[in-house]
Amino acid sequence: MKKKPLDRLNKLIIFGLLTVFAVVSLLPLYWVFSTSLQLSSYQSQDMERPVSYVDSNPPKMYPMGIPLYFKHWGEAREAAKAGDTEEEAYHRDMMDHIVSNSFGSFKNLFKKHDVGKWFFNSIYIAVVVTIGILLIDSMAGYVLAKKKFPGRNLIFWIIISTMMIPGQVTLVPLFIMVGNLGLMDTHWALILPDLSMVFGVFLMRQFMYSIPDELLEAARMDGASEWRTFWTVVLPLARPGLAALGIFTFMNVWNSFLWPIIVLNTAELYTLPVGLKTLQDANLASFKLLMSGAAVAAIPMIIVFILFQRYFVKGLTLGGVKE
């Protein structure tokens, strides 16, 4: 069906308006990257002392290294033309300085702080939890959707009813529990509770319903075991659901914050968000360094989002909107 076409002007106005809003909404994220690359120390010949563009007022809206690099580049070329080698060498040095200063905080971050370790921890935990959740929840969702056995509905309702309880309610008991199990200040303290999230069971169960019984029946006729049926028939058919669940699990674990700051005490074990908080708290880090850390934490999620965008949309609408 066709919509009544809006005239071009209206469309243009809407486009312009939305662009403004989009810019406002993306500004903070832009700022992370801009500041992480901002020139923090610069002194040209006519300056008395070096300036930092990181916390200058008025704020610099883009990395100052870019225009200054080209300025020196141009001047170096002119000096070369005029045959002034000393002047040329000076400008070449300035160019090197600008590059190393602009990217310097990333190097610092990995050399002087534990960011490399935090990054690895975050990836490791997110990957382990995502794979675990996909396997465990699709197994549970499959039998809850496709098998009839005593207690099925009871189990399902008990699991689902806890979905409405906000996570904070169990913080304290979970803390005591993790302590009793001797897992405090370990990555297991993050992984095990994350693997227990119930949302995936619900999502996978909804998804498994759409798998035709005939296919399962056919597999059984061929003499496939339960596990084989699940592995070779059910899982491939559930792929879109798995993709959506996997992405949300990854995002959720990658960004998780409250629970990690409670159970982790050792700097080496921190995940990125926890590490960033301690960097900010320590007040040792410059704003440029902080923003570089934030950029390191943001980039993986942005890549995941760009690559799997359609699954994000699918995952959100799958759960929420009645088709």
Partner 1 sequence: MKAGYASRTPASLLGGGNMTQMPMGAVPKKKDEKLKVIGKAKGNPRKLFYEMKRNYSAYLFLLPKLILFTLFVAIPVVWAFVLSFQKYKIFGSEFVGFENYIKVFESDAFRIALKNTLLFTVVTVPFGVISALVLSTLIFELGKLSQSLFRSAFYLPTVTSMVIIAMVWRWMYNYDFGLFNYVLGWFGVGPVNWLGQSNTALWALIIMQCLIPFGVGIIMYLASMGSISQSLYEAARMDGASRFKQWIHITIPLLKPTTLYLVLLSTIGSFQVFTQIIMMTGGGPGSATETLVHLIYKTGFRDFEFGLAGAQSVVLFVIILIFSVIQFRVLRHDE
**Site residues (CB under 8 A) for partner 1, limited to 94-123:** none
Q: Rule CB under 8 A: say whether 32 interacts with partner 1.
A: yes
User: Coil, strand, or helix at residue 36?
Assistant: helix
Give how many residues touch partner 1 by CB under 8 A: 118
Of 273, 289, 292, 311, the one binding partner 1 (CB under 8 A) is: 273
In the complex with partner 1, which residue's Cβ is closer, 86 or 157?
157
Q: Which of residues 168-187 bind partner 1 (CB under 8 A)?
A: 168-177
In the list 64, 94, 276, 289, the residue contacting partner 1 (rule: CB under 8 A) is 276
CB-count exposure of residue 166 (10 Å: 0-12, 13-18, 19+): exposed
In the list 51, 198, 211, 235, the residue contacting partner 1 (rule: CB under 8 A) is 198
Contact residue for partner 1 among 108, 252, 278, 286 (CB under 8 A): 252
Task: List phi, psi (to 5°) of 211.
Answer: -80, 125
The full DSSP string for 155-188 is HHHHHHHGGGS-GGGGHHHHHHHHHHTT-TTSTH
Among 123, 128, 131, 155, binds partner 1 (CB under 8 A): 155
User: What 3-state DSSP class applies to 323?
Assistant: coil
Give the separation between CA 137 and CA 248, rounded to whole angstroms. 13
Per-residue contact track with partner 1, 201 to 230, x per CB under 8 A?
A: xxx--x--x----------------xx--x
**Across-strand partners of 42?**
51
Q: Rule CB under 8 A: is residue 286 a binding residue for partner 1?
A: no
Residue from 45, 148, 221, 223 in contact with partner 1 (CB under 8 A):
148
Rounded Cα distance, 58 and 46, in Å? 21
The single residue among 58, 83, 182, 223 that binds partner 1, judged by CB under 8 A, is 58
Compute how many other C-beta atoms are within 10 angstroms of the C-beta atom of residue 230.
19
